[in-house]
A and B are shown apart, each in its own frame.
Chain A
Amino acid sequence: MTDLRTHAAEIAEQFSDHLDVSVDEVEERLDNLVNEYKVPVEEARRSVTNSYLDEAGLERDAIAGGAGGSQLVELADIAEDEQWVDLKVKVVDLWDPGHESIAQVGLVGDESGTMKFVAFQTSELETLEEGKVYSLQNVVTDEYEGNFSVKLNRTTTISELDEEIEVGDDNATVEGALVDIQSGSGLIKRCPEEDCTRVLQNGRCSEHGNVEGEFDLRIKGVLDDGTEVHEVIFNQEMTEELTGVTLDEAKQQAMDALDTTVVADEMRTMVLGRYYRVTGPTFGRYVLADEFEELSGPADAEAVLIKARSM
Chain B
Amino acid sequence: MSQSVPSREVARRVFAEEFNDAGYTFKESDDERAPVYLLLPTGERANRVFVVGTLTEKEDVGEDSEYWRGRIVDPTGTFFVYAGQYQPEAASALRELDAPSYVAIVGKPRTFETDDGSINVSVRPESITEVNAATRDRWVVETAQRTLERIDSFDDEGNEYARMAKEQYDLPTDAYKQAAIGALESLDTETTDELASDAPEPEP
| Residues A299 and B140 in contact, CB atoms below 8 Å apart | yes
| Residues A308 and B180 in contact, CB atoms below 8 Å apart | yes
- Interface assignment of B146: CB less than 8 Å from any CB of chain A: yes
| Residues A226 and B11 in contact, CB atoms below 8 Å apart | yes
Q: How far is the CB of B195 from chain A (nearest CB, A)?
A: 6
- Interface assignment of B13: CB less than 8 Å from any CB of chain A: yes
- Interface assignment of B85: CB less than 8 Å from any CB of chain A: no
- Interface assignment of A274: CB less than 8 Å from any CB of chain B: yes
Which residues of A from 175 to 228 have beta carbons under 8 Å from B?
177, 179-180, 222, 224-228
* A311 contacts across to B, CB distance below 8 A: 148, 151-152, 177
* A269 contacts across to B, CB distance below 8 A: 93, 129-130
| Residues B8 and A300 in contact, CB atoms below 8 Å apart | no
User: Whose C-beta in chain A lies nearest to the C-beta of B132?
Assistant: A296
| Residues A226 and B146 in contact, CB atoms below 8 Å apart | yes
Which residues of B from 1 to 47 have beta carbons under 8 Å from A?
7-8, 10-13
Complex Cα distance, B151 from A180, in Å, reads 28
Among A224, A304, A309, the residue within 8 A (CB) of B10 is A224
Interface centre among A226, A306, A311 (most CB of B within 10 A): A226
- Interface assignment of A229: CB less than 8 Å from any CB of chain B: yes
- Interface assignment of B91: CB less than 8 Å from any CB of chain A: no
- Interface assignment of B187: CB less than 8 Å from any CB of chain A: yes
Task: Number of B interface residues at 8 Å Cβ cutoff, please give it.
Answer: 47
- Interface assignment of A69: CB less than 8 Å from any CB of chain B: no
Q: How far is the CB of B202 from chain A (nearest CB, A)?
A: 13
Known: A299-B142, A307-B148. A229 touches B8 (CB 8 A): yes
Contact with B along A282-311 (1 / 0, CB 8 A): 000000000000011111111011111101
Q: How far is the CB of B89 from chain A (nearest CB, A)?
A: 8
User: Whose C-beta in chain A lies nearest to the C-beta of B151?
Assistant: A311
Complex Cα distance, B51 from A273, in Å, reads 9
| Residues A224 and B138 in contact, CB atoms below 8 Å apart | no
Among A227, A273, A304, A308, the residue within 8 A (CB) of B104 is A273
Main secondary structure, interface of B, reads helix
| Residues B141 and A301 in contact, CB atoms below 8 Å apart | yes
| Residues A304 and B129 in contact, CB atoms below 8 Å apart | no
* B165 contacts across to A, CB distance below 8 A: none
| Residues B129 and A301 in contact, CB atoms below 8 Å apart | no
Complex Cα distance, B105 from A179, in Å, reads 8
- Interface assignment of A268: CB less than 8 Å from any CB of chain B: yes
Main secondary structure, interface of A, reads mixed
* B73 contacts across to A, CB distance below 8 A: none
Complex Cα distance, B148 from A227, in Å, reads 13
User: Whose C-beta in chain B lies nearest to the C-beta of A270?
Assistant: B129
- Interface assignment of B123: CB less than 8 Å from any CB of chain A: no
| Residues B135 and A296 in contact, CB atoms below 8 Å apart | yes
- Interface assignment of B66: CB less than 8 Å from any CB of chain A: no
Known: A229-B10, A268-B127, A272-B127. A304 touches B106 (CB 8 A): no
| Residues A226 and B50 in contact, CB atoms below 8 Å apart | yes
Complex Cα distance, B148 from A307, in Å, reads 8
Known: A229-B10, A299-B140, A304-B141. A224 touches B50 (CB 8 A): yes
- Interface assignment of B115: CB less than 8 Å from any CB of chain A: no
- Interface assignment of A275: CB less than 8 Å from any CB of chain B: yes
| Residues B12 and A226 in contact, CB atoms below 8 Å apart | yes
| Residues A272 and B184 in contact, CB atoms below 8 Å apart | no
Among A224, A306, A309, the residue within 8 A (CB) of B11 is A224
Interface centre among A222, A296, A297 (most CB of B within 10 A): A296
* B146 contacts across to A, CB distance below 8 A: 226-227
* B138 contacts across to A, CB distance below 8 A: 275, 295, 299
- Interface assignment of B99: CB less than 8 Å from any CB of chain A: no
Among B7, B48, B185, the residue within 8 A (CB) of A305 is B185
* B199 contacts across to A, CB distance below 8 A: 309
* B180 contacts across to A, CB distance below 8 A: 304, 308
* A300 contacts across to B, CB distance below 8 A: 141
| Residues B195 and A306 in contact, CB atoms below 8 Å apart | yes
| Residues B10 and A299 in contact, CB atoms below 8 Å apart | no
Listed by A's residue number, 6 A-B pairs whose Cβ atoms lie within 8 Å are A227-B10, A275-B135, A275-B138, A302-B191, A308-B180, A311-B151
Residues of B at the A interface (CB closer than 8 Å) are 7-8, 10-13, 48, 50, 52, 89, 93, 103-106, 126-127, 129-132, 134-135, 137-146, 148, 151-152, 177, 180-181, 184-185, 187-188, 191-192, 195, 199
